[in-house]
């Protein structure tokens, strides 16, 4: 499912797939952003642990803790307001219209401010780029998205749809 929306959005070309901490540096987000990156890594570690736990009660308890980690992430939008852009979102990527052509497989760092007020930071790769008049419609797929960001993006798509 894809939805058209307008959200504060900024993106930059990068040389490689970046982890959460490096994405914060790319967009010069304030200090609390490091906490969000650490919480994301903790959430991923808990997800990996769940697969190896046989006891149903322990698995459920750890799963509940993992769901709460998303709530602890601080708002870490940039201090300067980001202009809203018209974008198309899906559960695993987005489409933007840009002034420049991008090459397929180029890496793009993306910073969105979702309607919950929290920043969404991911690195993706260009999957397509087509000229539309004097602009370029570019598809970006987030390949190694964290589980928490995957859920947050899916929730944003569902909220926008309704």
CB 114 within 8 A of CB 152: yes
Q: pLDDT tens-digit profile of 72-105? A: 655 544 556 788 999 999 999 999 999 999 999 9
- What number is the average pLDDT over the span 133-156? 91
Instruction: Tell me how far apart the alpha carbons of residues 99 and 136 are, in angstroms, rounded to a whole number.
Output: 6
Interacting residues of 106 by C-beta distance below 8 A, sequence separation 6+: 13, 125, 126
Q: pLDDT tens-digit profile of 5-34? A: 999 999 999 999 888 778 878 888 765 655
Q: What is the pLDDT of residue 47?
A: 78
Q: What is the pLDDT of residue 31?
A: 56
Q: What is the pLDDT of residue 88?
A: 97
Q: What is the pLDDT of residue 117?
A: 78
Give how many domains the chain has, as a whole number: 1
Phi and psi of 102, rounded to 5°?
A: -115, 150
Angle at 91 between CA 89 and CA 95, to 5 degrees: 30
Higher pLDDT, 58 or 105: 105
The percentage of the chain sitting over the pLDDT mark of 90, rounded to a whole number, equals: 45
Pick from 80, 81, 85, 75: nearest CA to 116: 75
CB 90 within 8 A of CB 157: yes
The encoded tokens of residue 120 equal 């969404």
- Domain span holding position 114: 3-161
Average pLDDT, the chain: 85
């Amino acid at each position: 499912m894809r939805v058209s929306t307008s959200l504060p959005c900024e993106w930059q070309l990068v040389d490689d797939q970046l982890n959460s901490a490096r994405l914060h540096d790319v967009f010069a987000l304030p200090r609390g952003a490091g906490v969000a990156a650490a919480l994301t890594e903790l959430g991923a570690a808990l997800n990996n642990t769940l697969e190896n736990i046989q006891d149903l009660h322990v698995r459920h308890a750890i799963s509940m803790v993992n769901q709460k980690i998303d709530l602890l992430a601080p708002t870490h939008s940039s201090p300067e307001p980001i202009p809203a852009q018209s974008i198309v979102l899906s559960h695993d990527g987005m489409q933007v219209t840009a002034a420049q052509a991008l090459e397929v497989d180029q890496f793009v760092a993306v910073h969105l401010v979702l309607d919950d007020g929290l920043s969404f930071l991911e690195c993706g790769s260009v999957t397509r780029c087509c000229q539309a008049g004097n602009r370029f419609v570019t598809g970006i797929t987030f390949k190694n998205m964290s589980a928490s960001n995957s859920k947050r993006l899916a929730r944003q798509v569902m909220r926008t749809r309704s």
